[in-house]
Structure 1
Amino acid sequence: MTYGFYISLLSITGDSLEPAILSFTSGFNLISGGSDTGKSFAFSCLDYMLGKIEAPDGIPESVGYNNIYLEIKTYSGKTFTLLRNINGGDFVVKESSYKDFFSSKATIKNYSVHSQSNTSISDFFLSLSGIDPDIQIKSTQQNKKKRFTFTTLRNLTFIDETTITIKTSPIYGNQGYLDYTYYKNSLSFLLTGKNANDLINFEDAKNKKSWNNGRLDFVNSQIIHFNDNLQNLISEKLSLKTAKEEPIDTLFDRLEKLNTTLQNYVSERTDILNKVEEKNSLVIYKTELLKRLSLLLEHYLSDQYRLDFILNGDQLLNQLNSVDCPICDSTLGEEKANYLSHNMGNSIKVEKEKISLKIKDLETTIVDNQEELGSLSTELDHLKAKSEKVDRLIKEILTPSLDNLKASIETFNRLEKLNAQIEIYSNELNYYNKEQTGLQDTSENPLSSSTTNDGFGIKELTKIIEKILRKWDYQDNTHIDFNSDHKVYDIVIGGKPRGSYGKGMRSISYTAFILSILKYCLKESRPFSNLLVFDSPLTTYHRGGELINKKDEEISQDIQNSFFKDFSKLGNDCQVIMFDNKTPNIKLIEKINFIYFTKDKNKGRYGLFPT
């Protein structure tokens, strides 16, 4: 698991002024260029936006600018934008990108700059770093303690141009002597997780012995507790083990493909059902139409039968003899009678022919519609069969496969959580086992050892520092020892105290020391911000801005080349931001996020602020 976060953007804004923006990436970022171009001001703004109470000292170019925005991204994929007035005050934080800060509907949260507040920016940054905000650190030899804050972490990881050359230990930095114990144990906490939350303040040896015995009982109970929980976790892990374990990326690829296939078939089924509905509507329409056509045919046949009946009746009438009119004695002439009979017969025959044509057309229409109805029924049967087939595929194959794949992913995630819990419980168990041994050894003489094992983890750190300095061609003899004297607490390089070297070489070794903490925490998956910021590690600072080329303050070109080459190899699981006048060669520039201030208004970017 990668803890921490990296800075992706710094923006300084003012009314009617073009923003001053710096974009960063994970890995190595170098901001280079001449003096008085805003590099140190940018460093101060980053320090300020990560919780420093004091506002940055203004420079002429910053006049009219009033707000600073900082966009940060966690290694778990979250993005936050922080807003703070350039002259001081608390923070406004939103889980959104800088670009979407004002349009996003995410909740706005306010954080106090003071670590004692219930909603402090220190707690916010500590949580992103994987560190419990309630951690206590031993601050005196009498076991008094103070909270570990992000300010402590920032003092260890944000190194300005004056601090980087000091003779005192990089762990102590510019802190006063009374804070040495606190910062020494803060380092121990970062390296091992060892804290003072359970530490009891004791006043004398008798109380200490009593506390020691009570602590031993507590430690024994914790060993039993963590051991039992560890066994349960291991048993659950074994029960979840499958015969074939696939990488999580493969499982997600399969899940995406299966989801796509399922959606395609669901869409196909929907199309089929729409077609079935459409065809059913046509069947209903055609059936109703055939009923009406059949009724119309019956009417036509009835009319045809009626006309035939009239013709047959006329023939019968013709066989009757005509008589005089009983009223007027007029005689119906035979010629007139025949005329009437002939005209009526012709009209009926014409009407009958019309009806016969209509019957013929209607019968053809009925046959056509019956054929269409048959075709529709066949199509419906085919569509229903296809729908049933797709439905069976979805219900019997795709959905169960999708459920099984989701179950595999859930199992994988559960195994990941179990592994993380097992690691945590194992570390806790190892910690309490070591403490048990220490408590048993000191039970007879409570004054014989410290209850916090100050300096634990330093040995491994010195190995990393030695490896770094060799990569940087620091000097022929880079063997590292450690002087654990409370006042010194610093490395010894080639038999010579680090503080006795010239400013330039002290700056390099200071950088190596701080970088070793980052590398150690990454290697051991320790909670850490995984963010370092250095100001002028290669350019020796002198008060008044004057650079004196003394031999013991120069940093050779070979060291500079090796220094930049090593930093260019940093991975994407951490971030180092460096401000310096020095620049690497063109091949290395292409491998890093490089920003250059030209101090020339006609060439490139002049400096931090737009000209």
Structure 2
Amino acid sequence: MGSLTLTHLTYAGAGLPTASVEFDPTFTVIYGSSNTGKTFIVDSIDYMLGGHVRPYIPRAEGYGQILLGLLLPDGSPLTLVRKPGGKSIHVHQADLRGMVHDTPDAVVSARRIRSRRDISHYLLSKVGLDDRYIRTNESGNTELLKLADLTHLSVVTDTRMIDPNPPSQRTRGTAARTAARSVMKLMLTGEDEPPATTLPNVSQRRVQRGKINLIDSLALDLHAKLSRDQSPAELREQLALLEGTLEDMARSLARESEQQARAVAARAQLAQTDAELETRLGEVLDLLGRFDILRQQYESDLARLEMVSEAGNLLGYFQVGRCVFCGADPEHQHAQHGNQETTQLHEAVVVESAKTHSLLADLLLTLSDLEAQRDELIERRNALTRQVGEADSVLAQIEARLAPLNEELQAVVAERLRVERDLELRARIDELDEHRSELVSQGALPSKRVEAFIAGRILTSFDRVLQSTLDSWRIPNVEAAGFDPHGGDVSAGGTTRAGHGRGMRALLHAAFSIALARYCLDRRLPHLGFLVLDSPLVTYKEPDYDADRIPPNVIDHFYRSILAFPGQAIVVENAPPPPDVLEHARIITFSGSGDRPGFFPARPTSVLARP
């Protein structure tokens, strides 16, 4: 069987820098920061191989062509060109890596419609699988193999990596399980199903009509929930415009909020200064009150001393008998006794009066200084009150500008939610339409045909490859790994993949995909030849071990094992591979900034300013 090789993925747009990644024919690792377009690359590869869900991120707006380069089994180049949202794919038998204006060598439908003019038949014919049949239901109906039956095994997105749904199944449901078993049989044995007639009987047609009526009813109900009659392309265009509007409004709000924060800080500083001035003014007023009482006391003392001085002369001269100063009786008094006592009293009064006058003078100086401080503080508080009023006015102006911005932001957010809800409803309607088309095209045989199972020896051989893959990664507790051909799931350590946590589910899905590719490519069995894994390791955390045991470095061993992969491997992860792998693989790093911030390069200023 022939194999395909991916060479590059390119987004091109008029006036925009080309966004492109080139894939190594053996091993490519794309790693780096989140939100840089890594998963977008994987989704774009799936989209170019006939996927119906268009990958979209705002940075992709404006790009008008998606180019996927391949090498066919004979080594000749091929470029698939698809317009985002387009229903057809232009095929060029050349290696093109920019805007394409040449006439294509072929135009095929991007929808997997099982015709001779769709991308599924075109690529399957290049690898020799265009005439293979698979079983579609338990009644034994068959249909031609579609590219979608193989791409989900070669392009594993991050959501499918951790999905509990069996890794061999493309979708959920009994019919999907039957088709998955048939595809696994084709890949592991090289044997497809013999074609069978699909004419249903009366009872089966009645069941089909009932299912179709139910789908029609559900679709009508979803249509009634749509707020407006807009196509998905119009909704996506409107969503992109709303995202741009929200970014502009967010910048305006950020500027106003920054000004508000500065104004609030200045107002708080003024309030703090006012509180300090009020405290100091209270202290000054309190001291003025206390010192004024002391001044009154000094003045009262001076008045009393003056009164004593005036009365002192009379106390010794106009009184006969016992001395008013010392209490001596007349017989004990000498001739100058009264004069001496009066002189001593006068001197004491003079000294005390001088002392009190000195204290009063100092007190008056202090009072004068405090009154000056009081006047200064009152003047500063008046000026500060004016500044507070001005700050409050500035805050009021900012709040007046913020109010309509917030209202407009809420309106835009509500509109975005409405658009996102309509997009989701449109996607669900498209899914129902696809199911309806499948029901219309499917048939049922009058009798049930026995399903052919995969031989036990083949399953044992595949289980050995799966176990060997897990062992090479040094994952603990994954003994007895195997594949269940009926349920389509894998198990390890006595537990099915669905029974494990997200990290182990991702590792087991990656191990299944790698083991299947190795088994098929080594034996030249049907396989597309390449394998794209998105985030097989990001959710895995190694278990704790005893201090004397070295825990296995699963991530490093995972990368090293892929060096021996027989086909083309592309791994998308957040963390880089170990140093000994870097020199053997093409490494593409998205740093979030710098020379290669992400898949899409920075746009020129003129482009960003374009309305």
TM-score range, shorter chain: 0.5 to 0.7
* Correspondence for 1:63: 61
Determine if the alignment matches structure 1 residue 559 to structure 2 residue 559. Answer: no
Query: Are the counterparts in 1 of residues 28 and 586 from structure 2 also a CA contact under 8 Å?
Result: yes
- CA deviation after TM superposition for structure 1 residue 72, in Å: 0.7
Determine if the alignment matches structure 1 residue 197 to structure 2 residue 194. Answer: yes
Which amino acid is 1:479 matched to? Answer: A
Determine if the alignment matches structure 1 residue 583 to structure 2 residue 576. Answer: yes
Query: Are the counterparts in 2 of residues 491 and 497 from structure 1 also a CA contact under 8 Å?
Result: yes
Query: Are the counterparts in 2 of residues 13 and 67 from structure 1 also a CA contact under 8 Å?
Result: yes
Which amino acid is 2:119 matched to? Answer: I
User: Over residues 349-377 of structure 1, what are the superposed CA-to-partner deviations in whole Å (9 max), with x where a residue is unaligned?
Assistant: xxxxxxxxxxxxxxxxxxxxxxxxxxxxx
* Correspondence for 1:180: 177
* Correspondence for 1:538: 537
Q: How does 1:18-417 map to 2 (within 5 A)?
A: 18-56=17-55, 58-99=56-97, 107-132=105-130, 134-199=131-196
Flag the 1:537–1:609 CA change in 2: closer, same or farther, 3 A: farther
Equivalent of 1:601 in 590, 594, 600: 594
Q: Secondary structure at the match of 2:569?
A: strand
Q: Structure 1 stretch 97-106 or stretch 182-191: which is displaced more? A: 97-106
Q: Secondary structure at the match of 1:596?
A: strand
User: Over residues 590-609 of structure 1, what are the superposed CA-to-partner deviations in whole Å (9 max), with x where a residue is unaligned?
Assistant: 11011000112367768666
* Correspondence for 2:476: 475
- CA deviation after TM superposition for structure 1 residue 113, in Å: 2.8
User: Over residues 89-129 of structure 1, what are the superposed CA-to-partner deviations in whole Å (9 max), with x where a residue is unaligned?
Assistant: 20000111115985988834444433333311001111223
- CA deviation after TM superposition for structure 1 residue 584, in Å: 0.8
Flag the 1:597–1:537 CA change in 2: closer, same or farther, 3 A: same
Q: Secondary structure at the match of 1:505?
A: helix
* Correspondence for 1:508: 507
* Alignment partners' CA distance in 2, 1:48 and 1:203: 33
- CA deviation after TM superposition for structure 1 residue 479, in Å: 2.0
Which amino acid is 1:191 matched to? Answer: L
Flag the 1:609–1:146 CA change in 2: closer, same or farther, 3 A: farther
- CA deviation after TM superposition for structure 1 residue 176, in Å: 2.4
Q: TM (normalized to structure 2)?
A: 0.53
* Alignment partners' CA distance in 1, 2:10 and 2:196: 43
In structure 2, stretches of 5+ residues that fail to align are 202-446, 546-550, 605-611
* Alignment partners' CA distance in 1, 2:26 and 2:119: 24
Q: TM (normalized to structure 1)?
A: 0.53
* Alignment partners' CA distance in 2, 1:534 and 1:72: 18
* Correspondence for 1:418: none
- CA deviation after TM superposition for structure 1 residue 500, in Å: 1.6
User: Over residues 482-513 of structure 1, what are the superposed CA-to-partner deviations in whole Å (9 max), with x where a residue is unaligned?
Assistant: 44454xx3222122222222211111111111
* Alignment partners' CA distance in 2, 1:191 and 1:48: 26
* Alignment partners' CA distance in 1, 2:590 and 2:102: 33
* Alignment partners' CA distance in 2, 1:560 and 1:21: 27
* Alignment partners' CA distance in 1, 2:589 and 2:502: 25
Q: Secondary structure at the match of 1:81?
A: strand
User: Over residues 307-362 of structure 1, what are the superposed CA-to-partner deviations in whole Å (9 max), with x where a residue is unaligned?
Assistant: xxxxxxxxxxxxxxxxxxxxxxxxxxxxxxxxxxxxxxxxxxxxxxxxxxxxxxxx
Flag the 1:557–1:22 CA change in 2: closer, same or farther, 3 A: farther
Which amino acid is 2:555 matched to? Answer: Q
Query: Are the counterparts in 1 of residues 7 and 24 from structure 2 also a CA contact under 8 Å?
Result: yes
User: Over residues 118-153 of structure 1, what are the superposed CA-to-partner deviations in whole Å (9 max), with x where a residue is unaligned?
Assistant: 311001111223212x32211222211222100111
* Correspondence for 1:463: 464
Which amino acid is 2:118 matched to? Answer: S
Flag the 1:567–1:203 CA change in 2: closer, same or farther, 3 A: same
Flag the 1:451–1:562 CA change in 2: closer, same or farther, 3 A: closer
Which amino acid is 1:565 matched to? Answer: R
Flag the 1:601–1:160 CA change in 2: closer, same or farther, 3 A: same
Query: Are the counterparts in 2 of residues 4 and 130 from structure 1 also a CA contact under 8 Å?
Result: no
* Alignment partners' CA distance in 1, 2:512 and 2:479: 13
* Alignment partners' CA distance in 2, 1:450 and 1:16: 56
* Alignment partners' CA distance in 1, 2:138 and 2:581: 48
User: Over residues 5-62 of structure 1, what are the superposed CA-to-partner deviations in whole Å (9 max), with x where a residue is unaligned?
Assistant: 1111111011101100111121111110011101111111111111112221x22211
Q: Secondary structure at the match of 1:18?
A: coil
- CA deviation after TM superposition for structure 1 residue 589, in Å: 1.0
* Correspondence for 1:289: none
* Alignment partners' CA distance in 2, 1:173 and 1:117: 20
* Alignment partners' CA distance in 2, 1:185 and 1:591: 37
- CA deviation after TM superposition for structure 1 residue 79, in Å: 0.4
* Correspondence for 2:307: none
* Alignment partners' CA distance in 1, 2:198 and 2:103: 48
Query: Are the counterparts in 1 of residues 5 and 72 from structure 2 also a CA contact under 8 Å?
Result: yes
Which amino acid is 2:160 matched to? Answer: T
* Alignment partners' CA distance in 1, 2:155 and 2:98: 28
Query: Are the counterparts in 2 of residues 115 and 121 from structure 1 also a CA contact under 8 Å?
Result: no
In structure 1, stretches of 5+ residues that fail to align are 205-445, 540-544
Flag the 1:484–1:48 CA change in 2: closer, same or farther, 3 A: closer
- CA deviation after TM superposition for structure 1 residue 175, in Å: 2.6
- CA deviation after TM superposition for structure 1 residue 447, in Å: 9.5
User: Over residues 546-569 of structure 1, what are the superposed CA-to-partner deviations in whole Å (9 max), with x where a residue is unaligned?
Assistant: x9x999xxxx77110100111123
* Alignment partners' CA distance in 2, 1:601 and 1:170: 37
Query: Are the counterparts in 1 of residues 39 and 534 from structure 2 also a CA contact under 8 Å?
Result: yes
Q: Secondary structure at the match of 1:64?
A: coil
Q: Secondary structure at the match of 2:12?
A: strand
Q: Secondary structure at the match of 1:72?
A: strand
Query: Are the counterparts in 2 of residues 115 and 123 from structure 1 also a CA contact under 8 Å?
Result: no
Query: Are the counterparts in 1 of residues 50 and 110 from structure 2 also a CA contact under 8 Å?
Result: no
* Alignment partners' CA distance in 2, 1:606 and 1:106: 26
Which amino acid is 2:16 matched to? Answer: L
* Alignment partners' CA distance in 2, 1:550 and 1:87: 47
Which amino acid is 1:86 matched to? Answer: P
Identical aligned residues as a percent = 23
Flag the 1:455–1:140 CA change in 2: closer, same or farther, 3 A: farther
* Alignment partners' CA distance in 2, 1:74 and 1:469: 31
The alignment's C-alpha RMSD in Å is 3.3
Flag the 1:202–1:457 CA change in 2: closer, same or farther, 3 A: farther
Q: Secondary structure at the match of 2:66?
A: strand
